Structure 1
Amino acid sequence: MPKDAKADILTKGTKIKPKKDPRTPKKPSGAYIHYCKDKRELLKQEHPSLSLGDMGREMGKRWQEETMEVKKPYFDMAARDKARYERELAAYNQSLST
């Protein structure tokens, strides 16, 4: 058997994941994700030499140190994103049943 053919054979414990429908709505992002999207460029400008892992640790540290007043807009964004997802999911499920 050719070497490449062995890679194509599924082992006993291997499961095949079904393909995801591309029309499925994108899942909502949490408050921390919105915070990171907003602050990542600022952190890159302040510390251009940070690695991706160090940047993630620094973002997490900053998020933990923020007050609820600073976090509130990001929680509001997350709530709006969740509402959007629920609307789109309902429309998607409706389109499947018709």
Structure 2
Amino acid sequence: MSEKEKKRFHEMADKDKKRYETEMKGYTPSENDKSKRGKKRKQIKDPNAPKRSLSAFFWFCSDERGKVKEANPEYTVRDIAKELGRRWSDADPSIKSKYEEIADKDKARYDRVSSV
């Protein structure tokens, strides 16, 4: 753009800036507006709320994690998680059904407690 073309836009910006400043002189934020400004606050969780139910995989992991860690003490958390995932995918359907029953019972517990 040439300077002549830019001048028109600079004048418009200056005019709008003056309008904004005059409007802001008489502005006082209400009490409700102050609470909305800034960082949103994290909602506080109820410490007495029931814990969510665990899936069959997590019940399996809680039983197997100690065994994996004992057999491989050099494993990191990531390596342990990978091994648990591999073991879960290779597990017999009878083993999986055992943990799925536990998960179903836990889900029923959570539904019963949370609906009260």
Aligning the two structures, in what range does the TM-score lie when normalised by the shorter sequence? 0.7 to 0.9
Q: Does 1:74 align with 2:99?
A: yes
What's the TM-score once normalised by structure 2's chain length? 0.64
Q: What is the aligned residue count?
A: 80
Partner residue of 2:115?
Answer: 90
Deviation at 1:69, TM superposition (A): 1.0
CA–CA separation in structure 1 for the residues paired with 2:41 and 2:93: 43
Partner of 2:74: 49
Distance 2:99 2:79 in 1: 22
TM superposition shift of 1:15 = 2.5
For the pair shown, the structure with the greater C-alpha radius of gyration is 2
Gaps spanning 5+ residues in structure 1: where? 1-10, 92-98
Cα distance in 1 for residues equivalent to 2:83 and 2:60: 12
Following TM superposition, the consecutive aligned residue runs of length 4 or more in structure 1 with deviations greater than 3 angstroms are none
- What do residues 26-75 of structure 1 show as CA deviations (whole Å, max 9, x unaligned)? 00000000000001111111111111110001100110111211111100
Deviations 1:3-44 (A, max 9, x none): xxxxxxxx85x4222111112110000000000000111111
Alignment of 1:25-64 (within 5 A): 25-64=50-89
How much is the aligned-residue C-alpha RMSD, in angstroms? 1.4
Structure-1-length-normalised TM-score: 0.75
- The alignment-based identity, stated in percent, is 34
Where does structure 2 lack aligned partners over 5 or more consecutive residues?
1-36
CA distance in 1, matches of 2:47, 2:65: 28
Q: Which is bigger in relative contact order (C-alpha 8 A, separation at least 6)? A: 1
Opposite residue 55 of structure 1, the aligned amino acid is I
Aligned residue for 2:10? none
